[in-house]
Amino acid sequence: MRRIDFLGKAKFLVPLSVLLVVASAVLLVPSVRGLKMGIDFTGGTEFTVKFTEHVNAAAIRDVLGTVSAGTLDLRTSQIQSAGPTTYTITTQLLNVETDQVAINSIDAALKKAYPGVEVNRNIIGQQISKELAQSGLMAILIAMGAMLIYISWRFRFRYAIAAILELIHDTVIALGIFALFRLEFNLETIAAFLTLVGYSLNDTIVIFDRIRENLKLDQKRNLFDTINLSINQSLTRTINTSATVFLPVVILLLLGGTVLRGFSVAMLIGIICGTYSSWYIGTPILYWWARHFDKGRSREKS
């Protein structure tokens, strides 16, 4: 089988990746573009709606779609079941003068579509939203910290640094795409980001483990060739794994509707970036580290 020179192509692709990361970081600046924060982080108005009989959530979204709320599409509101005939509807409308008409219109539209329905309102304060945002960020940082410790223990510190920088690359680019296309960032999106972090790391660990094994099997082969060999040996597994995850995520993106769009887009970006960065970000960093901090060594020993 013909071997692909992954590490040789990295000298062209790493600068491109750095450029994408910088561009994404610039897009994340609020004065430039910034993230479009969801209800979880901005606060809003929550409606607790008790129907006289069971109602489908899709039908409730259709009713919300009839209410005018400026540029806000109320069909993207969070709708959660709170009982056999009770739903909570969370919107980004705040209980202030500018949104009061829309809030009253939602109340009126629900009562018109479902006579006898009981509607109660509750304000989600921005303080609670701020705490949720901090908790979400803390979850990502803790996950990365735990992975840094584990990889350092299981492999070596240089492997951990390469993996974490790779994850930062994937996460920043994904956030940049969210900012560019004004996709809503909410708690479900954070769940997707944590999933893509794990997915990206999974493929990287397989390649790192293959590198370590090959270094033990042939101590005469230099590190450059060993890394290329290891990636090629893992190539079929990587493609098969990515394809089996890619297809259902694409279907979810096409058929999941507006509510799952942010989650499915984050997963799709994670699959693409995670596969790419395993080849062209993590391993080049590992090679660069060995070249600069293990001078005089022609091979890596594990």
Find the CATH number of the domain harbouring 114. Answer: 3.30.70.3400
The band of 142, judged by pLDDT with boundaries at 50, 70 and 90, is confident
116: left (phi over 0), alpha (psi -120 to 50) or beta: left
Q: Is the pLDDT of residue 80 over 50?
A: yes
- The answer to the question of residue 299 being in a domain is no
Q: Is the pLDDT of residue 276 over 70?
A: yes
- Mean pLDDT on 255-283: 86
Q: Indicate if 32 and 49 belong to the same structural domain.
A: no
The band of 299, judged by pLDDT with boundaries at 50, 70 and 90, is very low
- Mean pLDDT on 11-16: 92
Whole-angstrom distance, CA of residue 128 vs CA of residue 43: 8
For position 302, what pLDDT does the model report? 41
Q: Indicate if 228 and 193 belong to the same structural domain.
A: yes
- Mean pLDDT on 4-32: 92
pTM for this prediction? 0.77
> What CATH number did the domain enclosing 286 receive?
1.20.1640.10
- The answer to the question of residue 301 being in a domain is no
104-135 in b/e form (b: 16+ CB < 10 A) is: ebbbebbeebbeebebeeeebeeeebeebbee
**Structural domains of the chain, count:** 2
Please, what is the average pLDDT of the chain?
Answer: 84
Q: Indicate if 89 and 146 belong to the same structural domain.
A: no
Asked which of 54-63, 189-198, 244-253 is least confident by mean pLDDT, the reply is 189-198
Q: Indicate if 152 and 288 belong to the same structural domain.
A: yes
- Mean pLDDT on 223-249: 90
Final residue of a domain: which of 92, 124, 156? 124
Q: Indicate if 159 and 262 belong to the same structural domain.
A: yes
- Mean pLDDT on 22-39: 89
Q: Indicate if 15 and 56 belong to the same structural domain.
A: no
For position 95, what pLDDT does the model report? 58
Domain span at 270: 6-37+128-293
Q: Indicate if 74 and 172 belong to the same structural domain.
A: no
Q: Indicate if 109 and 132 belong to the same structural domain.
A: no
The band of 46, judged by pLDDT with boundaries at 50, 70 and 90, is confident
